């Protein structure tokens, strides 16, 4: 299994970064949990057999270009054959700015890009058909998407401001603290955040904090006890409750296992 992140050439309002994943025969069959990432994605999957995704009692057979909406819990990935995966990791408001539609309708769903936006599919699909080096492919995608007229208004600006605060605090912030810095009512923030991002502000904050904790743990930057304290969990039981919410298993079960797919995705 070979996984790597690819950074954007320029800062932009749409894309956080890209990734490339090659899963060889030695890793097949692959059965893995996939942690939610507080992002929407467009991914390209090439395999002789569709990749099975089990999410909230729904099963998706992913192949080609697929849109992944926000998720609040981990989901199961099952692969029966070697495959290639290239992903576009969007800024939380990026997909909304491209599609100009309620992103909460894509939450906990994996949909064919051609059925979500035929225009976007026709723009991106020819690039993948060229079978380019991943770095060249990322640059071309970034250039193509930045040439599109995107949708921005006062609400996207306010949500972007809220996300910037959440990022700066590594998720160690609450909704009340956001409202002190942003000229918006709580109700309006919740409605617009869910529409533009796909999750409520509270869910996004909790997920982003948990994701940062897990990345630091997998990068061996601190012990789990140090991270629990750093991210403001009251005690181990409070952390365990959140862990089971996001991962659908106890921390002791996860930390005993060797999850090659997840470890690769979290290390950066």
Q: Using CB atoms within 10 Å of the CB of residue 147, give its burial: 0 to 12 exposed, 13 to 18 middle, 19+ buried.
A: exposed
Helix (H) or strand (E) holding 156: helix 154-168
Q: Lowest mean pLDDT: which of 99-113, 177-191, 211-225, 251-265?
A: 251-265
Per-residue confidence band for 267, with pLDDT thresholds at 50, 70 and 90: low
Tally of CB atoms within 10 A around 104? 19
DSSP code of residue 133: -
Residue 108 has pLDDT above 90, yes or no: yes
For residue 229, give both structure tokens. 């304290």
Provide the sign of the torsion angle of the four alpha carbons 180, 185, 187, 193, taken in this order: negative
The Cα 268–Cα 265 span in angstroms is 8
Higher model confidence: residue 237 or residue 95? 95
pTM comes to 0.93
Per the structure block, which two tokens stand in for 34? 């996939």
pLDDT more than 70, % of the chain: 96
Domains of the chain with CATH codes: 2-146 (2.60.120.10), 154-266 (1.10.10.60)
Tokens 């298993």 label which residue?
249
Radius of gyration of the chain (CA): 18
Q: Which of 105-114, 166-175, 185-194, 220-229 has the lowest mean pLDDT?
A: 220-229
């Amino acid at each position: 299994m070979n996984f790597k992140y690819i950074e954007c050439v320029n800062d932009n309002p749409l894309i956080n970064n890209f990734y490339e994943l090659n899963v060889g025969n030695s890793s097949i069959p692959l059965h893995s949990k996939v942690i939610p990432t507080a992002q929407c994605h467009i991914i390209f999957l090439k395999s002789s057999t569709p990749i099975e995704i089990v999410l909230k009692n729904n099963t998706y057979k992913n192949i080609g270009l697929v849109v992944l909406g926000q998720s609040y819990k981990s989901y199961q990935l099952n692969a029966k054959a070697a495959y290639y995966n290239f992903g576009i990791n969007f800024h939380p408001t990026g997909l909304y700015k491209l599609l100009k539609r309620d992103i909460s309708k894509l939450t906990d769903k994996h949909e064919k890009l051609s059925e979500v936006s035929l225009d976007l599919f026709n723009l991106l699909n020819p690039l993948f058909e060229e079978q380019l080096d991943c770095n060249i492919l990322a640059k071309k995608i970034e250039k193509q998407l930045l040439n599109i007229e995107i949708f921005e208004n006062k609400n996207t600006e306010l949500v972007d401001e809220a996300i910037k605060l959440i990022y700066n605090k590594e998720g160690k912030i609450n909704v009340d603290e956001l409202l002190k810095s942003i000229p918006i009512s709580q109700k309006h923030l919740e409605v617009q955040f869910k529409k533009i991002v796909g999750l409520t502000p509270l869910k996004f904050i909790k997920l982003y904090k948990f994701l940062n904790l897990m990345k630091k743990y997998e990068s061996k930057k601190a012990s789990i006890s140090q991270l629990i304290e750093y991210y403001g969990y009251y005690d181990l039981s409070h952390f365990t409750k959140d862990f089971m919410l996001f991962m659908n298993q106890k921390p002791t079960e996860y930390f005993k296992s060797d999850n090659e797919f997840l470890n690769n995705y979290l290390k950066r």
